[in-house]
Amino acid sequence: MADHRHVLDGVVDNVRRGMIPAHIYNDNELFELEKERLFSRTWMFVAHESEIPQDGDYVVRRVLDDSFIVTRDADGNIRALFNMCLHRGMQVCRAEMGNASNFRCPYHGWTYRNDGRLTGLPFHREAYGGEGGFPKSRQTLLPAPNLASYNGLIFVNMDPCAQPLEEFLGNFRFYLDFYTRQSPGGLEVRGPQRWRIKANWKIGAENFAGDMYHTPHTHASIVEIGLFREPKAQKRKDGATYWAQCGGGTTYKLPPGNFEQRMRYVGYPDEMIDRLKRVWTPSQQQLVGEDGFMISAASCFPNLSFVHNWPKVLDSPDGTDDVLPFISIRLWQPISENETEVCSWFAVDSAAPPEYKKNSYKAYLMCFGSTGMFEQDDVENWVSLTNTAGGAMARRLLLNSRMGLLSDDRPVVDPLPSEAFHGPGYAQVGYNEHNQRALLRLWADHLEMPVRTAAPA
Amino acid sequence: MMPTEVCTPVGKPLPFNDNRHLQAHQFLVDEAYLLDAQDYETWLDTLTDDIRYLMPVRVTTALGAGFDTSPEMAHFDEDKYSLSRRVARFATEHAWTEDPPSRMRHYITNVRTFACEDDAHLVVESAELLFRSRGDVNEAALVSCGRNDVLRWCGDQLRLARRNIMVDESVLRMQNLAVFL
């Protein structure tokens, strides 16, 4: 294992005090270390179960450089199979999605069931001496070392001994449910839209985790054209930001009202509100109904983010200000230290009425994704930041990420007491960068800790 | 007026010296200049009020799968209102993604025009390559696509009533689509 101590010199200590060495956003050595010590043992989102609803459905997804076929086999089990033929290493599936009972390698014709088992081997007897010479019945495509799901979100972990997913997610699940469990049937997702940006993957994750401070400025144009009323002026500082174990996010403070009135305020129809009341716990409902906070953006360490906003997407002749919520799931897939593939899904509750799904999709397209009007301005910033972080001067610059902290590390605003914020973890109102620091602290913890050397399979 | 969804081309492409083809071709070229210049308010006036502007997400699928777009997912799936919001945003002083503006060139080629059963419409196919350069030294980005348009006669003017943009990449290599194609 290479000695990486010098790479981390001056990085982790500064990151922990909220002074971020600018080069971490464009540093090849750090990216190599991220691959070795972070992505090799953390839970990586690959797909949502609703993308492969039928037996035989599959999508092909990457974890860094590794391609996995995420399939639902003939018994309905979800699997993630390393997309490399056992014989000469060809990709056995070169499509992105589809339905197949078998995958046949195009090179020499080895064939695998969609549960990974090797079933076909041309000239098995002549070439290998049949089952006696090479028992094909015991051969399968390599499964992902670890696979688990929560509310239909499928994660892969490259470490077979990883902490179980539910334990890793911990009480961040409380917040994940707002996005991913709005009825017993859960979400259905569409997409993803995929595009590559010349930006480091951490920037998007940090932004979605807690950057309420950028909204009034970066997204000023969105308010001006009447698409989203909430970021107006200083409104964002009234929302709470929370951090719970592996993730955190931002919220908006809603006008007075009870749970139903506040869910209606952001555009949920009554039939959806009835279902929400059946699946969200009393504390989840209290966060909205009593505390008045509505979830907006969030990130789950390391590179999975969510957004829930409620823009005005329909031209109403009577001038009414009807808004409608949408949900997006996005993955900041690292390509290199200065390039990220953004995978952005539209998500909607599977039980939602058709008209709601249609308009929510429209809301998503107008706001986020490859053409989204929010996203356009975000990416411009992130690309510029990444460019600048690659030079020599960036190595002399510590970016100030201490918002919300006084010089003696006491918070500018006290945390919210549990009676004012019914969610787990800690939360506070006001402009701050607590979540960005929390995310980067987890990042620093991973980079500092050497990995066990995995035994060859 | 016949809905644009049922405007199907009739027969072979019109000869290149057919006046209808010449007018459709000119429409596309004039439009490309508007888009290069980001003169989006003028461009908006060249669209019918019932415009459907669609750019599906392309996916790689096995030969014979029967589909090559992501089910129910698009990059653009727009009507006049949503396009007008996008144009209005560019007109604010805070659309940072285009300040400074990109230098763009929309190359339009392989144009062929088809008559429709209904005289009010023409179907026009074209290939498009967008070159987009931002800043001084950033690598320029390209988007290649095929377009299938329905143009409608409104008096003596053609207007765009439907556009289906089939992008040739599954993963776009452009930082955003703060552009029109």
Which of B82, B92, B171 lies nearest to residue A366, judging by beta carbons?
Answer: B82
Mutate to test the interface with B, among A105, A197, A225, A384 (most CBs of B within 10 A): A225
Judged against a pLDDT cut of 80, whether residue A454 lies above it is answered with: no
pLDDT, chain B, mean: 95
Of A243, A281, A295, give the one whose Cα is nearest residue A434.
A243
B22 sits in which H/E element: helix B19-36
| Residue A148 phi, psi dihedral angles, 5° rounding | -160, 160
Judged against a pLDDT cut of 90, whether residue B12 lies above it is answered with: yes
- pLDDT band of residue A375 (cuts 50, 70, 90) is confident
* CB contacts, 8 Å: B59 with chain A: 95-97
pLDDT in tens, A247-270: 999 999 999 999 999 999 999 999
The DSSP secondary-structure symbol of A143 reads: B
* CB contacts, 8 Å: B60 with chain A: 94-96
Q: Give the least confident one: A126-135, A277-286, A294-303, A325-334.
A: A126-135
Cβ of A195 and B176 within 8 Å? yes
In a domain, B2, yes or no: no
In a domain, B180, yes or no: no
Find out whether B167 and B73 touch, Cβ atoms under 8 Å: no
CATH number where B138 lies: 3.10.450.50
Which of A195, A346, A376 lies nearest to residue B171, judging by beta carbons?
Answer: A195
Assigned token pair, B2: 């016949």
Give the Cβ contact number of residue A135 at 10 Å: 11
Give the Cβ contact number of residue B110 at 10 Å: 10
Percent of residues, chain B, with pLDDT higher than 90: 87
Q: What is the pLDDT of residue B93?
A: 85
- The span from the CA of A82 to the CA of A61, in Å, is 10
In a domain, B124, yes or no: yes
Q: Which domains does chain A have, with CATH numbers?
A: 44-149 (2.102.10.10), 170-446 (3.90.380.10)
Judged against a pLDDT cut of 80, whether residue A239 lies above it is answered with: yes
* CB contacts, 8 Å: A383 with chain B: 138, 175
pLDDT in tens, A86-139: 999 999 999 999 999 999 999 999 999 999 999 999 999 999 999 999 999 889
Q: What is the pLDDT of residue B52?
A: 97
- The span from the CA of A176 to the CA of A301, in Å, is 12
Give me the sign of the Cα torsion angle A24, A25, A31, A37: positive
- pLDDT band of residue B2 (cuts 50, 70, 90) is low
Q: What is the pLDDT of residue A232?
A: 64
Find out whether A25 and A200 touch, Cβ atoms under 8 Å: yes
Domain count for chain B, please give it: 1
Separation in Å, CA of B138 to nearest CA in chain A:
9
Q: What is the pLDDT of residue B31?
A: 98
Mutate to test the interface with B, among A62, A193, A217, A350 (most CBs of B within 10 A): A193
Name residue, tokens 């602290």: A441
In a domain, B181, yes or no: no
In a domain, B136, yes or no: yes
pLDDT in tens, B131-149: 999 999 889 999 999 999 9
* CB contacts, 8 Å: A96 with chain B: 59-61, 170
Find out whether B70 and B57 touch, Cβ atoms under 8 Å: yes
Domain range enclosing B71: 7-167
Cβ of A97 and B61 within 8 Å? yes
Contact B59/A at CB under 8 A: yes
Of A220, A285, A297, give the one whose Cα is nearest residue A257.
A285
Cβ of B77 and A362 within 8 Å? yes
Separation in Å, CA of A298 to nearest CA in chain B:
21
pLDDT, chain A, mean: 94
CA distances from B24 to B100, B122, B125, B146 (A): 33, 8, 10, 16
In a domain, B109, yes or no: yes
Q: What is the pLDDT of residue A457?
A: 46
| Residue A230 phi, psi dihedral angles, 5° rounding | -65, -40
How many A-B residue pairs are in contact by the CB < 8 A criterion? 121
Judged against a pLDDT cut of 90, whether residue A226 lies above it is answered with: no
Mutate to test the interface with A, among B76, B81, B90, B97 (most CBs of A within 10 A): B97
Cβ of B82 and A220 within 8 Å? no
Cβ of B77 and A315 within 8 Å? no
Closest Cα in chain A to B61:
A95
pTM above 0.90? yes
Which of B70, B89, B170 lies nearest to residue A221, judging by beta carbons?
Answer: B89
Find out whether A294 and A251 touch, Cβ atoms under 8 Å: yes
Q: Does the ipTM surpass 0.90?
A: yes
Q: Is A7 exposed, middle or buried (0-12, 13-18, 19+ CB in 10 A)?
A: middle
Closest Cα in chain B to A60:
B60
- The span from the CA of A340 to the CA of A336, in Å, is 7
In a domain, B80, yes or no: yes
Cβ of B177 and A379 within 8 Å? no
In a domain, B121, yes or no: yes
CA distances from B41 to A351, B85, B90 (A): 39, 11, 10
